[in-house]
Chains A and B, each alone.
Chain A
Amino acid sequence: MGTIDLDQGDPDFVKELAGQSGGQIRACFTCRTCVASCPISAINREFNPAKIIRMALYGLKEEILKSAFIWLCTTCYACQERCPQGVSITDFMTHLKNMAIKEGHAPPGIRAQLKLVKGEGRIYPIDDFDNKKRNKAGLPPLPTSCDAIKELFL
């Protein structure tokens, strides 16, 4: 990332985030404990939780939501557990991802998972072949279809 253009800042973005879990990002005093704890930052400098918090505080909504890097968060909670200011950083990252999807930005893998779970009720729907293998292993059969999911997500 190059120079930050503050004219691109959207002050409403910070307000929008403040109401969510993880919205206490104003409390961040840039100690970078999150970066030091992050398994992704350790191998990929593109991903930097402290920088994402700073960008959010500057209101750089578009730049964050269109980015590829927000999707690199593994949700391991290492940062959230250690933040001395009590910022729920992992929850904040999850909300950024939710907002990005609403704006139409999401990696195809994430979109596919969402479609599958909301359509079938499972990431790996069970078919007769699965039940055959389960039976062979001495495991009980599972339903091959799920009606409740359709009623829940009408």
Chain B
Amino acid sequence: MKYALFLGCTIPARARNYELSARKVAEKLGIELVDIERFMCCGFPIKAGDIDSSELLAAYNLCLAQERGLDICALCSSCTSALAEVAHHLSLDERRREQINERLSAVGLEYKSSPRVRHFARVLFEEVGDEKIKVHLQKDLSDLKIASHYGCHYLKPSEVHDHFDDVEDPNSLDALVALTGAEIVDYPLKKKCCGGPVLPVDENVALSVTKEKLESLRDAGADALCLVCPFCSVMYDGNQKSIESEYDTSFKLPALYLTQILGLAMGFGRKELGLNMNVVKTKKLTAKIGL
């Protein structure tokens, strides 16, 4: 199994714990991740401002993988969705493909057909599969209660992700976490957005959306939250302390990436998984499993 690894902007600069743990988990499972230095931003952050340029950036990145004959595996949900969406549009719209190719000729690229675009979690869920993952799990996490945040662009728009999971009753992340033996926590606001995209526009609105969900998670008794997107992590991990002081409340809810959770079950150490880089402290959590 071989993929071009699409890191995007946020992960290599701000979420090295995610990158580190994902590379460890991939190596353990025999997924070869190829780095392509020329990859740029996926286009998602400028979609609201300039959709044409956003699509051009996505097509540029798709071409780089296509010319190496590789499918793309992305760690960020927004990157996955932005790239998959443009691949979907271009497969249906020949005129748009011609316009894009005119622009891409400036950098010597031509969009012919799209590589498949997959989120890392989807690769684990669909392609690696339970049995192959279980073989590598050494540590039982049954003392932990873990809730998953699916977020938005990991699953939606559902047609660009081939409806691989049910957006109204998602299961893929819970199923992966359950392999570790952890108790799966369901909670009323499971499907809600993290609020992150509104952060540069209205911080109060964005943080209120995050706060609502943190309350729902606290009420459901979760020990930790499982994430698959660095934007969501900015809200639940990076901004959790500000929310606590702004609203005079307390959550102290560790927010781990799926790859950190699977990595713990695979027997990797805290530092190997970048747990020391998480903002909300994870020591009490890992002490429960003897780390």
Tell yes or no: B141 within 8 A of A by CB: no
Q: Is A151 a contact of B156 with CB atoms below 8 Å?
A: no
Tell yes or no: B48 within 8 A of A by CB: yes
Q: Is B200 a contact of A110 with CB atoms below 8 Å?
A: yes
Tell yes or no: B41 within 8 A of A by CB: yes
**Assembled-state Cα–Cα distance A138/B46 (Å):** 31
Q: What are the residues of chain A within 8 A of B197 when measuring CB–CB?
A: 74-76
Interface size class of A (residues with CB under 8 A): 35 or more
Q: What are the residues of chain A within 8 A of B178 when measuring CB–CB?
A: none
Tell yes or no: B181 within 8 A of A by CB: no
Nearest chain A CB to B279 CB, angstrom units: 16
Contact of A76 among B14, B50, B57, B156 (CB under 8 A): B156
Tell yes or no: B101 within 8 A of A by CB: no
Nearest chain B CB to A89 CB, angstrom units: 11
Q: What are the residues of chain A within 8 A of B196 when measuring CB–CB?
A: 74
Contact of B158 among A81, A110, A134, A143 (CB under 8 A): A81
**Assembled-state Cα–Cα distance A138/B50 (Å):** 36
Q: What are the residues of chain B within 8 A of A148 when measuring CB–CB?
A: 38, 40, 60, 107
Within 8 A of B (CB), among A108-154: 109-114, 117-118, 121-124, 126, 130, 133-134, 137-140, 142-143, 146, 148-149, 151-154
Of all chain A residues, the one with the shortest Cβ separation from B103 is A152
Tell yes or no: B188 within 8 A of A by CB: no
Q: What are the residues of chain A within 8 A of B53 when measuring CB–CB?
A: 118, 153
Interface size class of B (residues with CB under 8 A): 35 or more
Stretch at the interface among B126-134, B202-210, B218-226, B247-255: B202-210
Tell yes or no: A53 within 8 A of B by CB: no
Q: Is A109 a contact of B201 with CB atoms below 8 Å?
A: yes
Q: What are the residues of chain B within 8 A of A154 when measuring CB–CB?
A: 106
Contact of A152 among B106, B193, B195, B200 (CB under 8 A): B106
Bits for B95-108, please: 1 = Cβ < 8 Å to A, else 0.
Answer: 00000000110110
Given contacts A77-B157, A114-B50, contact A138 B40 (CB under 8 A): no
Q: Is B200 a contact of A137 with CB atoms below 8 Å?
A: no
Q: Is B198 a contact of A40 with CB atoms below 8 Å?
A: yes
**Cβ-closest 6 pairs across A and B:** A109-B200, A124-B13, A76-B193, A77-B156, A114-B49, A121-B40
